[in-house]
Amino acid sequence: MLSSFSCHQQFSRPNSLQTRPHFNLKNPVWWRRRQNSVVVVRCGRNEVEESKNYYELLGVCVDASSQEIKDAYRKLQKKYHPDIAGEKGHESTLMLNKAYKVLVKDDLRKQYDASIGKISNNLRIGSIWEGSLRSQALFVDENACIGCRECVHHAGNTFMMDEGFGTARVKVQYGDDEERIEISVDSCPVNCIHWVDTEELEVLEYLIQPQPKVGYGIYGQGWERPANVFMAAKSFNKQLKQQEENQQRSKSTDEEETPAQSQARESAYRELKVGRFARIWSWMKRSTGQ
Amino acid sequence: MAEPAYLVASDSETTGEEKSSSPFPDIAIGIDIGTSQCSVAVWSGSQVELVRNTRNQKLMRSYVTFKDEIPAGGVSNQLAHEYEMLSGAAIFNMKRLIGRVDTDPVVHASKSLPFLVQTLNIGVRPFIAALVKNMWRSTTPEEVLAIFLVELRAMAEVQLKRPVRNVVLTIPVSFSRFQITRIERACAMAGLQVLRLMPEPTAVALLYAQQQQQSVHENMGSGSEKIALIFNMGAGFCDVAVTATAGGVSQIKALAGTALGGEDILLNMMRHLLPDMDTHFSTRGIDEIRRMGLLRVATQDAIHKLSSQSSVQIDVDLGNGRKISKALGREEFEDVNWEIFEKCESLIKQCLHDAKVEVEDISDVILVGGCSNIPKLRNIITGVCKREIYNGINPLEAAVRGAALEGAVASGVNDPFGSLDLLTIQATPLSIGVRADGNSFVPIIHQNTTMPVRRDVIFTTVHDNQAEALIIVYEGDEKAMEKNHLLGYFKITGIPPALKGVPEINVCMDIDASNVLRVFAGVVMPGVQNPAGPVMEVRMPTVDDGHGWCAEALNRTYGSTLDLVTVQKKGAH
């Protein structure tokens, strides 16, 4: 079968946010069709649009049904299609068509979701590795991040903006060359980009996710994350260790138990006491198994 | 001819502003140039109205007669009798001949028409001539069409009391981009600017979208998505479209079409009634032409009658001792044309397959065009789609009405009652690609891709230190590259010396909403930021008339020296 380079980049590399990766990287100029003022305006807007992912482009949430996606697409087409918006609608419609084509097909949408690290079931999948695992990984402390976009600007294949929270995040580890990453880390005005040990990364990325906060009546509800994620990670690891020890201790003391009993008790124990940690366990198992 | 009947409008004239007293001065009119009949419609401010000629006709025969040296078309000319059109002085079926080379089977089928169609079978345009005072006067399909369009334009300008410049034209699905350029040339000759081209069934789809939206407004019902299959068969072409409609937006999911129509049915029946027809009329004297006309009219009448009755009696005296007297039954008619009907059925099935639509998902089946009364065709469609045929659309006016709606929408007209809150999202009827990987056709934009669209594919060189590469652009969906339409070719030069497979030759194609195809090509060396040398931008098609053989000539001259191959990346789809 014909191998389309653009498709390849779009789906196998996770940086689909740049929908024309090849030309964006290498020669951003020669596409611009006509050298008149309209084009300058058009390019300016494109830059904004290209930094959006397909869901943002269509203005739907990541869990939108295909009906919602179709409706949104039609609504936007009625605004931007060149029949209505004139020639300046060409570029926007290209983007819409591209986004729609992917999101409306289940298989393409799944691939795309994986590539952008879709937030599914309240469990945000962490950053993806470009190439082999290394001992050091990048981590953005989103508590400190002021949303300046500097890092995304310098290393757009590594960092992305979470428009919902207004903070930056690592989407691909080593998505850009080291020089660009170096520049982006240095460019951070609040020094919120950290080099961390790879083993710590998953816990950190899990903990930095905002968790729903139980409120009282209408007060106090919302989202929270640990004020100091590094401290939280330490205590989390400690708890994990304790949990393991507890399990081993319980195993050693209740040897008379039948395997079924033991299993039932263990699962009940997990559900009751470490429900929150069980989630990350299952997730880590899943993600390493993949 | 002292004065030409039409004016050649140059492209630079497009900025000419014209004053008008009409409230909607710039609304593009819709024109449906049929193989057999033409019509014009325009948005009147509240609805679409068909423009009538001085004889109060909405549908006008598509022909131009040269009998008095001064050409006269079917808009202004009154035929004393059908035979007048078949006297050899009139050229018709322009739409079937335009942009075709003399190796095309459709051109060969046209050789039994009363006017002269001469072929040399070498891939040049056929020679076409009308019989004027016992002389064959040469013309071209573009010229004939332009004369006809001038009459249509004059008629519309008189009726609308304003200058008419912008048009939305309907075209068959199977038209190649080269054929479209010939249509556009005819329009330019007639002083018309083509704002949009719509495959005929997509124009019908837009009209259907409007009807659906109005019924939603009236019933306050839910505007859920409706899938419709549209089958259009006229005298020259057969088209199918599957559209998804919701909220006034018609989204074309798939298109299929072929150059088969009522003309082919007519020809089959004429051959059936007079098996030695071709030898009988080969001399093409005035008497033979007259006899051929007699047979044609008698056969046409019989076919029309067979739509409403199960058998028909045919009696024609061809003179010269030849007489045809025969009772023709509907079954016999269906047997003679079984191949055409079978092709129609397979087109519908193919279109449904390409649209990935199950028969159960279809809400409405729409049948339009001059052949829509043929019972066999109706049976096939109801049989395949398991639905009764939608009856809310006039089969002969649907396409032109849809074109007029698109003309109003694309001209920026708003309707306070929401009747123009419409949009047609078109799809590419044919794949477009380049010759690469040896002698194969590598599509870059596939068939049924939503327009506007931009796609690119990376190619690379096949020889070490290959400095140039030939990009040959084709359109079509045939596996054998030669069977697709050649659109143009150009060379990329100045590829830096490198081992084969190293330079990246990026070929990008862009189709905008007005269906303009641009091909970009540039060379990028690995690790270099900018393209090596300026990038090419070529508006296609570039081929000129009669270049059916130029692919062969390129092959002979260059062989595989300037070839390309696609870059196969691991993990690619």
CATH number, residue A72:
1.10.287.110
A234 within domain boundaries: yes
DSSP 3-state of A180: helix
The confidence score (pLDDT) of residue B534 equals 87
Q: Which residues of B touch A87 (CB under 8 A)?
A: 512
- pLDDT above 70 covers what percent of chain B? 93
Same domain, A23 and A72: yes
Compute CA distances B144 → A228, B538, B554, B560, whole Å: 81, 30, 32, 41
% of chain A exceeding 70 in pLDDT = 59
Q: Quick one: average pLDDT of B470-489?
A: 89
- In a domain, residue A222? The reply is no
The answer to whether position A237 is within a domain reads yes
Residue length of chain B: 573
| A49 domain-assigned | yes
pLDDT of residue A9: 30
CA–CA min distance A163, chain B (Å) = 27
CB B21, CB B161: distance < 8 Å: yes
Does residue B28 surpass a pLDDT of 60? yes
A100 in a domain, yes or no?
yes
- Nearest CB partner across the interface for A30, out of B412, B535, B572: B535
Of B105, B144, B108, B111, the C-alpha closest to B288 is B111
Q: Over range A207-222, report the average pLDDT.
A: 64
pLDDT at residue B426 is higher than 50: yes
Handedness of CA B392, B397, B401, B402 (dihedral sign): positive
Give the pLDDT score at B20: 40
pLDDT exceeds 90 at position A173: no
* Closest-CA residue of chain A to B513: A82
**Structural domain ending residue among the three candidates A149, A177, A207:** A207
Are residues A128 and A111 both part of a single domain?
no
- How far does the CA of residue B509 sit from the closest CA of chain A (Å)? 11
Look at B443 and A100 and tell me if their CB atoms are within 8 Å: no
* Residue B130, CA distances (Å) to B5, B81, B83, B293 in order: 17, 18, 15, 15
Q: A24, A70, A83, A90: best mutation site toward chain B, by most B Cβ within 10 Å?
A: A83
Same domain, A56 and A93: yes
User: Are A80 and A110 contained in the same domain?
Assistant: yes
Distance from CA of B529 to the nearest CA of A (A): 5
Answer yes or no: do A64 and A146 share one domain.
no
Q: End of a domain among A118, A145, A179?
A: A118
Q: Do A21 and A48 lie in a common domain?
A: yes
pLDDT higher than 70, residue B190: yes
Q: In whole angstroms, what is the distance from residue A75 CA to residue A59 CA? A: 10
Contact criterion met (CB < 8 Å) for A8 and B571: yes
pLDDT digits (tens, 9 = 90+) for A251-272: 555 455 566 666 676 666 555 5
Distance from CA of A63 to the nearest CA of B (A): 20
Minimal Cβ distance to A97: which of B450, B537, B573 = B450
Residue A17 domain flag: yes
pLDDT, tens digit (0-9, with 9 covering 90-100), for B272-327: 999 888 887 777 788 888 888 889 999 999 999 999 999 999 999 887 778 899 99
| Distance in angstroms (rounded) separating the CA atoms of residues B535 and B496 | 14
**Is the CB of residue A6 less than 8 Å from the CB of residue B442?**
no
Which tokens in the block code for residue B512?
């905008």
Tokens representing A43 are 């390019």
- Residues 6+ away with beta carbon under 8 Å from B410: A83, B28, B168, B195, B196
Q: Which domain holds residue A262?
A: 228-289
Q: How many domains does chain A have?
A: 3
CA dihedral B554, B556, B557, B559 (to 10 degrees): 90
Q: Which domains, ranges and CATH numbers included, belong to chain B? A: 22-196 (3.30.420.40), 201-259+338-389 (3.30.420.40), 262-333 (3.90.640.10), 432-566 (2.60.34.10)
Residues A95 and A9 both lie in one domain: yes
A157 occurs within a structural domain: yes
Strands A128-129 and B70-73 turn out to be unpaired
Kindly determine whether residue A27 and residue B524, on different chains, have CB atoms separated by under 8 Å.
yes
pLDDT band per the 50, 70, 90 thresholds, residue A273: very low
Q: Which residues fall within 8 angstroms of residue B16, CB to CB, at 6 or more apart? A: none
* CB < 8 Å to B454, chain A: 94
Find out whether A152 and A163 touch, Cβ atoms under 8 Å.
no
Query: Can you tell me the distance from the alpha carbon of B91 to that of B99, in angstroms, rounded to the nearest whole number?
Result: 15
Q: Convert the pLDDT of each residue in B233-275 to its tens digit.
A: 999 999 999 999 998 999 999 999 999 999 999 999 999 999 8
Q: Does A7 touch chain B (CB under 8 A)?
A: yes
My answer on whether A61 and A14 are in the same domain is yes
Q: Which of B202, B423, B446 to mutate to test the interface with A (most CBs of A within 10 A)?
A: B423
Looking at residue A7, what is its pLDDT? 33
pLDDT in tens, A71-88: 899 999 988 999 888 888
pLDDT, one tens digit per residue, over A21-50 is 333 333 333 343 333 322 222 333 344 444
* Residue A253, in any domain of the structure: yes
| Least CB–CB distance from A70: residue in B225, B510, B513 | B225
Subunit contact B251:A30, Cβ cutoff 8 A? no
Mean pLDDT of B133-138: 89
Cα angle vertex B493, ends B487, B498, to 5°?
125
Which among A99, A118, A137 is the end of a domain?
A118
Residue B573 pLDDT: 41
Phi, psi values for residue B219, rounded to 5° = -90, -5
Per-residue pLDDT, A259: 65
* A66 close contact with B: CB closer than 8 A: no
What residues of B are in contact with residue A71 (Cβ under 8 Å)? Answer: 246-247
What's the rounded Cα separation, in Å, for the pair B203 and B398? 7
Å between B192 CA and nearest CA of chain A: 19
ipTM here: 0.85
User: What is the per-residue pLDDT across B491-510, written as a single tens digit (0 to 9) for each?
Assistant: 999 899 999 889 999 999 99
Q: Report d(CA B281, CA B263) in Å as an integer.
A: 18
CATH at A185? 3.30.70.20
Can you give the pLDDT at residue B288?
86
- How many C-beta atoms lie closer than 10 Å to residue B514's C-beta? 16
pLDDT of residue B208: 95
What's the whole-number average pLDDT of chain A?
69
Q: Are residues A112 and A130 in the same domain?
A: no
Please say if the pLDDT value at position B409 is more than 90: yes
Q: How many CB pairs under 8 A join A and B?
A: 113
Mean pLDDT of B49-61: 91
Q: Is A33 close to B518, i.e. CB distance below 8 A?
A: yes
Averaged pLDDT, A194-218: 74
Please check whether residue B424 touches A, CB under 8 A: yes
